[in-house]
Amino acid sequence: MAFTLGTVPVDPPVLLAPLAGITDLPFRRLVAGFGAGLVVSEMVASQEIVQARPLARARAELGFDQASTSVQLAGREAYWMGEAARYVEGQGARVIDINMGCPAKKVTNGYSGSALMKDLDHALTLIEAVVGAVSVPVTLKTRLGWDDALLNAPTLARRAEGAGISMITIHGRTRCQFYKGQADWAAIRAVKDAVTIPVVANGDITDGGRAATALAQSGADGVMIGRGAQGRPWLLAQVAAELFGQAAPVVPTGAALADLVIGHYRDMLSFYGLELGIKNARKHLGWYLEAAGTGLNRAIVLQSEQPLQVERALIEAFTEAPIPEAA
């Protein structure tokens, strides 16, 4: 079921979802190292990246030229979306994704993200602006609709394909559901039936069994995994092995897991700088401890400002062996 986006192969068709504050470059590198068909950056505000606000620029600039990486843009004005697309292509982006699925109020109140599903004519102006501005493949991520009374994803998908979109990812909820209830994978089939381009199913896919069910119910060409990979960066590779015959990853445990987590921690400190890196890493460290089923040293790991103390606590937590104090 592998497919290509321009010259970028999506093989296996197991993709990492864009998650604000989570799928930064250190995490994307880690997931890609285990194996993923495509990893997608955090959402970048189109006007901010063009106007060079430091935070937005930092999120997007680093990792543009990484293999199998897509840069996701969000916005509400065609001009800025087109300009942002030109900028990120110029920086080396090989795939550009348009966000029309984010349910957060701070995004939808600005008429971006999933709010665009309430005005498909306007949504199409953004799609046309991005597709017309670049030569790299452009994809779209959205939801089933704004609410149960406006389930217009199939219509948006059909119009998006006509405007040049190369792939569509559908989260199996409406915007008004946010992340409540269960993703409706079967409802994605109407989108698949409406287009000829690849469709990817997203939402509540946390293991190989659920991925297989999502594919069967939706008829989709691939799956996108988001929150399920938190604390388990090898999950996408596991799903690819179960569904598509890829080589199974070696899932680290004990000392090997400690080494992986400490490597991720150090990468974040290097990427963000010490103070911000310590703060941003804590959520990841908590997810690793939770996934490993250990609460040992949790308070130290999540509160200490001293990297060496955190690393020592992580080794003890994953090996469950106290480390003697240095003489």
Annotated binding-site residue numbers for FMN: 72, 141, 171, 226-227
3-state DSSP assignment of residue 85: helix
246 sits in the region (left: phi over 0; alpha: psi -120 to 50; else beta) called beta
Write down the residue that tokens 């498909």 correspond to. Answer: 120
Give how far the C-alpha of residue 6 lies from the chain's centroid of Cα atoms, to the nearest Å: 20
Q: Among the options 22, 73, 100, 102, which is catalytic?
A: 102
Contact between residue 37 and residue 12 where contact means Cβ atoms under 8 Å apart: yes
Give the span between the Cα atoms of 69 and 134, in whole angstroms: 16
Residue 176 annotated among the catalytic residues of the structure? no
Q: Where are the alpha helices (DSSP H) in the chain?
A: 25-34, 46-50, 54-61, 78-90, 105-108, 120-133, 153-162, 189-194, 208-218, 235-244, 254-272, 274-292, 298-303, 307-319
Distance CA 286, CA 211 (A): 25
> Roughly how many angstroms between the first and final C-alpha of the chain, as a whole number?
57
- Binding-site residue ranges: 72, 141, 171, 226-227
**φ, ψ dihedrals at 55, nearest 5°:** -65, -50
Q: d(Cα 158, Cα 156) in Å, to the nearest integer?
A: 6
Of residues 188, 242, 240, the one with CA closest to residue 2: 240
* 286: region left, alpha or beta (phi > 0 left; psi from -120 to 50 alpha): alpha
State both tokens at 326.
């240095």
- Residue where the block lists tokens 């990484």: 66
Enumerate the active-site residues.
Answer: 102
